[in-house]
Amino acid sequence: MAGLKIRNLKKSFGGNAVINNISFDVREGEFCILLGPSGCGKTTVLRLIAGLEHQDEGEIFIGDREVSGLTPGERDIAMVFQSYALYPHLSVYENMAFPLKIKKRPREETDRKVREAAGLLGIEELLHRKPKELSGGQRQRVAIGRAIVRNPELFLFDEPLSNLDAKLRGSMRVELAKLHQKLGATMVYVTHDQVEAMTLGEKIILLDRGEIQQTGTPRQIYEKPSNLFVATFIGSPPINLLRGRIIMEGGRIFFSSGELLIDTGSREELQQYAGREVTMGIRPESLTPGDGPVKGRVELVEHLGAETLVYVRVDGTRVIAKASPDFERKPGEEISLALSDTGIHFFCNGHRIGRP
């Protein structure tokens, strides 16, 4: 097991810069998520680490070794793909034993490692079956088992759960988190699913168009998004955005947008933006029905069981508020919404205003 260090990585395909000067660290034993929209370059970063592509510039260290000049086989990495990539004519046991067979490891050692990994993953009874006799979730477990038996320095996962249905994805997510705790292995995991990233990751690296937008724990990224892209990418339902202006009146700082005038209280960091256009971001859970400054008309009420989402038209913009399960208002009715102190963010020219 080893940590990973990426320095100033650049990669272009046919003159198009796909990875644009990326640097990050993954601690030994850390579960790190590469998150971002389709096409942002996540898989390319993973393939560069694995040695399946070669960077134009930059260095990749696994532990203290600079691996850029090494073949994939020499890097001591195990990669698990979305498409399980199992050998159809081999049994589960033979698929899992395959990496050790290639390395000509003794039969007893191979047998012990395969059975240990099968035990960890709860697939002991499936060892004699062929891949076609398995469900999607079971196949993915075999692919992970094959990675485990190699005891690599580093695990790389490329959207391993995206072929599974929503329920199975949820339970495999829990199992992967448990597996990481048991193995204590260094893992880099690619996904475009922010829920997966928030629940699995110790560290999230959020990419867009080949550049890192923010690195942090799930909480840091949710609570202090460094720009508008991060604020809107993370969070479900998404953050509400209102465009307006900062104005000073009687020594107080207000956010003004159409009919709306919101007293920002003690947000001194806004003072220097007086008179300028800004965007106010409000997390849905920070906007609740009650006596407050946001007035609008109910468009739709979604009862989800544990909570209720209320879609409200405010001055030409739709916002989503969270209400309790017993919320009873009809579309068309007028409503006031209150704001909480947390979950409110201001951005100017796309960048967060205030301390990082």
Burial class (CB in 10 A: 0-12, 13-18, 19+), 249: exposed
* Contact code string over 191-220 relative to ligand ATP, x by CB under 6 A: -x----------------------------
**Cα(215)–Cα(23) distance, rounded to whole angstroms?**
10
Nearer to ligand ATP, 193 or 307 (CB): 193
- Within positions 19 to 38, which residues make up the interface with ligand ATP, using CB under 6 A? 36, 38
Q: Tokens standing for 156?
A: 């790389």
**Cα(307)–Cα(341) distance, rounded to whole angstroms?**
20
Number of alpha carbons in the 13 Å side-chain half-sphere of residue 233? 28
Q: Which of 2, 24, 33, 42 binds ligand ATP (CB under 6 A)?
A: 42
φ/ψ (deg, to 5) at 259: -75, -15
Contacts with 104 (C-beta within 8 Å, 6 or more apart), sequence order: none
What is the maximal distance between C-alpha atoms in the chain? 81
Q: Which of 3, 33, 41, 228 binds ligand ATP (CB under 6 A)?
A: 41
Nearer to ligand ATP, 118 or 205 (CB): 205
Shortest distance in whole angstroms from residue 350 CB to ligand ATP? 21
User: Strand order of the sheet with strand 57-62?
Assistant: 16-26, 4-13, 57-62, 65-66
Nearer to ligand ATP, 60 or 282 (CB): 60
Shortest distance in whole angstroms from residue 31 CB to ligand ATP? 19
Shortest distance in whole angstroms from residue 53 CB to ligand ATP? 7
Shortest distance in whole angstroms from residue 19 CB to ligand ATP? 8
Shortest distance in whole angstroms from residue 56 CB to ligand ATP? 13
Binding site for ligand ATP (CB under 6 A): 13-14, 18, 36, 38-44, 192
